[in-house]
């Protein structure tokens, strides 16, 4: 349930950021070159100037397989006089969702230096001294070293509208004092992450950008020309599970980037010859299968090359087990069908980390079903209850 305030989202965001600057002696802004981080950067820069807290700390973990437009835009920000750059171009390991054969991409591998998608910049941090190489663990590791024993907040542009799971996570649990819209990086060192525009829509984001005549990543203009939905555009890592469909048009938007990507990222050229429907289940069950479960089993048997991963997915399908071994075996046909569709999406997009299943599991409907199965009282008479009945 949404609770509306008399203040608009801009006023609330400015109020939240002001509070964070007052509460934390060290503020770091995450910048990826995207629309959300563009808003966050400009909001924080404005308040930092007002509070005489310049230069503003700005952090970007460069995943190498980045669009040239994004690299150039981030570089402009990092080279500003009112910015203290934390630009990381160092060895790290990220999931490669373009390939069924090679799960990981080893960014900034010195043995592949002649194939790097773009060069390292002189101001960047090039050595990984943080005792961690997996991308999703790097933020905590970086802060532990760079801001040791310094109370620090990291401000990012994550928004609830992009994921049902985010809406639950950013509105229910206390992170710091009264704040729910964040997460704990390192409680012992007092390192926290906050998302002050968590309640913005993508239209709020673009309104702020255009109202203030802000420079933004022009890659968005190219994606708009190809009629991609505004709320689904991504301008960071080009082989992420939510953006691999951009590989189908990369050769038209940035030919030089495309040539380097195909030489560096396994599976990227295969993606280019597919259609956008190849990454998700069809709305109609293919005629040769009796149900979605049979279709999912077929894909798992024939498309997953890694035997360990194949066994894991087959076990999930045969026992209706989700991420973290969550049990859906007692569910009705509707939920089981939905589960199979998410497994199909996972296989077709090479989602090695099962992000799509995790997002589905955190959706309001599935959460309502789990609440029902735990025998907790459900009083709301709405479509959620109808959905639960269908799933039983």
Q: Is the pLDDT assigned to residue 388 strictly greater than 70?
A: no
Spell out the domains of the chain, with CATH numbers in brackets. 9-202 (3.40.50.620), 218-277 (no CATH), 292-391 (no CATH)
Q: How confident is the model at residue 247 (pLDDT cuts 50, 70, 90)?
A: confident
**Is 60's pLDDT higher than 50?**
yes
- 1: which 2 tokens? 């349930």
Bridge partner residues of 84 (DSSP): 57
Q: Which of 48-52, 106-110, 174-178 has the lowest mean pLDDT?
A: 174-178
Per-residue pLDDT at 226: 80
Is the alpha carbon torsion for 287, 292, 298, 302 positive or negative?
positive
279 touches 348 (CB < 8 A): yes
Span 283-326, pLDDT tens digits: 789 899 999 999 999 999 998 888 888 999 999 999 999 888 88
Cβ atoms of 62 and 89 within 8 Å: the answer is yes
Measured distance CA(57)–CA(78) in Å, rounded: 9
Rounded CA gap, 88 and 60, in Å? Answer: 6
Name the residue among 204, 193, 194, 192 with its Cα closest to residue 161. 204
Give 370's pLDDT tier (boundaries 50, 70, 90). confident
**Half-sphere exposure of 115 toward its Cβ, with a 13 Å CA cutoff?**
14
If you average pLDDT over residues 93-104, what whole number do you get? 75
For residue 389, give every residue at least 6 positions away whose Cβ sits within 8 Å of its Cβ, in sequence order, or none: none
Whole-number Cα distances in Å, 321 to 301, 312, 337, 364: 17, 10, 13, 18
CA–CA dist 53, 197 (Å, integer): 21
- Output phi, psi for 100, to 5 deg: -90, -10
Cα(230)–Cα(162) distance, integer angstroms: 11
* pLDDT number for residue 389: 45
Q: Is 88 helix (H, G, I), strand (E, B) or coil?
A: strand
**What is the C-alpha separation between 163 and 114, in angstroms, rounded?**
38
Encoded tokens for 351:
């989602």
pLDDT at 269 over 80: no
195 pLDDT exceeds 90? yes
- Token reading at 84: 């203290």
Structure confidence by residue, pLDDT tens digits, 112-158: 999 999 999 999 999 999 998 888 889 999 999 999 989 999 999 98
Closest CA to 35 of 176, 336, 236: 236
């Amino acid at each position: 349930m949404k609770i509306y305030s008399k203040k608009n989202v801009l006023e609330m965001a400015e109020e939240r950021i002001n509070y964070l600057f007052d509460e934390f002696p060290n503020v770091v802004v995450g910048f990826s070159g995207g629309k959300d981080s563009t808003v966050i950067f400009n909001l924080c820069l404005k308040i930092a100037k007002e509070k005489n807290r310049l230069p503003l700390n700005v952090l970007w973990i460069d995943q190498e397989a980045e669009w040239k437009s994004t690299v150039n835009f981030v570089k402009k920000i990092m080279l500003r006089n009112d910015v203290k750059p934390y630009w990381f171009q160092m060895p790290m390991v990220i999931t490669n969702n373009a390939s069924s054969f090679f799960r990981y991409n080893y960014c900034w591998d010195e043995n592949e230096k002649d194939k790097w998608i773009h060069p390292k910049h002189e101001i960047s941090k090039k050595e990984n001294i943080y005792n961690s190489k997996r991308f999703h663990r790097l933020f905590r590791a970086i802060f532990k070293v760079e801001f040791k024993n310094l109370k620090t907040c990291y401000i990012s542009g994550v928004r609830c509208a992009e994921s049902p799971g985010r809406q639950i996570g950013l509105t229910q649990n206390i992170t710091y004092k009264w704040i729910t819209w964040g997460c704990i990086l390192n409680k012992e060192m007092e390192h926290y992450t906050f998302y002050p525009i968590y309640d913005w829509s993508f239209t709020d984001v673009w309104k702020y950008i255009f109202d203030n005549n802000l420079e933004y990543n022009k890659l968005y203009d190219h994606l708009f020309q190809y009629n991609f939905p505004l709320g689904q555009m991504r301008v960071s890592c080009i082989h992420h599970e939510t953006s691999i469909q951009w590989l189908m048009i990369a050769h038209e938007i940035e030919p030089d980037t495309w040539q380097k990507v195909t030489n560096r990222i396994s599976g990227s050229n295969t993606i280019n010859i597919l259609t956008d429907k190849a990454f998700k289940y069809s709305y109609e069950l293919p005629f040769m299968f009796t149900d979605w479960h049979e279709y999912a089993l077929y894909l798992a048997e024939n498309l997953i090359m890694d035997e360990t991963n194949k066994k894991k997915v087959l076990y999930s399908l045969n026992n209706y087990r989700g991420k973290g071994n969550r049990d859906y075996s007692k569910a009705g046909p509707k939920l089981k069908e939905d589960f199979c569709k998410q497994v199909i999406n996972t296989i077709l997009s090479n989602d090695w980390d099962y992000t799509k299943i995790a997002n589905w599991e955190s959706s309001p409907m599935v959460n309502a079903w789990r609440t029902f199965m735990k025998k907790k009282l459900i009083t709301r008479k709405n479509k959620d209850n109808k959905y639960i009945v269908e799933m039983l």
